[in-house]
């Protein structure tokens, strides 16, 4: 007698990773609706390939690689890319010239950072988000972006430099020289 199909192990994969992959795609596409579609597509593709995945594979990094690939295809459509840039530019121009103060600072800082990140070149934005928000290893980022770990590191560095430049008003509490 044939036993019924066992519980699909992929259900656990969805439960564990969907929210994070979705968050990643919202950040990288700047459009919640597109992130909905792309995150679904990520898991549908993963589901079809899951059987062939080696048992010791890093499932999380693998899912990020699929999502990143879909995201790059998505932006490869020049029109979409321009639209997204226009949205990012419009958002960026809304920000005030001074560093916001008061209770809402934390949220506003986050929103401002989000806008700057959204305006980064795609590879830098992806590398930055994978590393700084989702804390992936450079090797995993390299696999996602199909480049070397060294290039992945360089993309993150370039992103940080640009963000730093955009945040030209970043306040520093001066420490006294120690000698």
Contacting residues toward another protein, per CB under 8 A: 1-5, 8, 10, 14, 18-19, 22-23, 26-27, 32, 35-36, 39-40, 43-44, 47-48, 51-52, 106-107, 109-111, 113-114, 132-133, 135, 157, 160-161, 163-164, 167, 170-175, 177-179
Q: Which of 154, 165, 134 is nearest to 71 (CA)?
A: 134
Residues, the chain, total? 179
Nearer to another protein, 4 or 78 (CB): 4
Angle at 166 between CA 161 and CA 168, to 5 degrees: 100
The C-alpha atoms of residue 142 and residue 61 are separated, in whole angstroms, by 10
Nearer to another protein, 78 or 93 (CB): 93
DSSP annotation string for 60-104: HHHHHHHHHHHHHHHHHSHHHHHHHHHHHHHHHHHS-SS---STT
Least spacing, CB of residue 151 vs another protein, in Å: 13
Nearer to another protein, 21 or 122 (CB): 21
Tokens of 97: 């010239």
Least spacing, CB of residue 157 vs another protein, in Å: 6
- Count of CB atoms situated within 10 Å of the CB of 105: 11
Nearer to another protein, 133 or 147 (CB): 133
Least spacing, CB of residue 147 vs another protein, in Å: 17
Least spacing, CB of residue 107 vs another protein, in Å: 7
Least spacing, CB of residue 37 vs another protein, in Å: 8
């Amino acid at each position: 007698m044939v036993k019924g199909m066992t519980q699909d192990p992929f259900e656990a994969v969805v439960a564990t990773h969907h929210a994070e992959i979705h968050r990643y795609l919202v950040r990288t596409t700047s459009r919640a609706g597109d992130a909905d579609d792309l995150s679904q597509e990520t898991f549908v593709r993963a589901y079809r390939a899951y059987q062939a995945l080696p048992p010791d594979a890093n499932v999380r990094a693998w899912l990020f690689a699929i999502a990143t690939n879909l995201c790059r295809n998505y932006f490869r459509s020049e029109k979409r890319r321009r639209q997204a840039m226009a949205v990012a530019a419009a958002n960026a121009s809304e920000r005030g010239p001074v560093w916001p103060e008061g209770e809402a600072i934390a949220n506003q800082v986050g929103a401002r950072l989000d806008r700057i990140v959204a305006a980064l070149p795609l590879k830098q934005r992806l590398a930055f988000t994978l590393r700084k928000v989702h804390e992936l290893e450079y090797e995993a980022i390299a696999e996602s972006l199909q480049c070397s770990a060294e290039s992945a590191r360089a993309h993150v560095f370039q992103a940080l430099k640009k963000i730093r430049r955009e945040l030209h008003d970043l306040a520093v509490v001066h420490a006294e020289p120690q000698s």
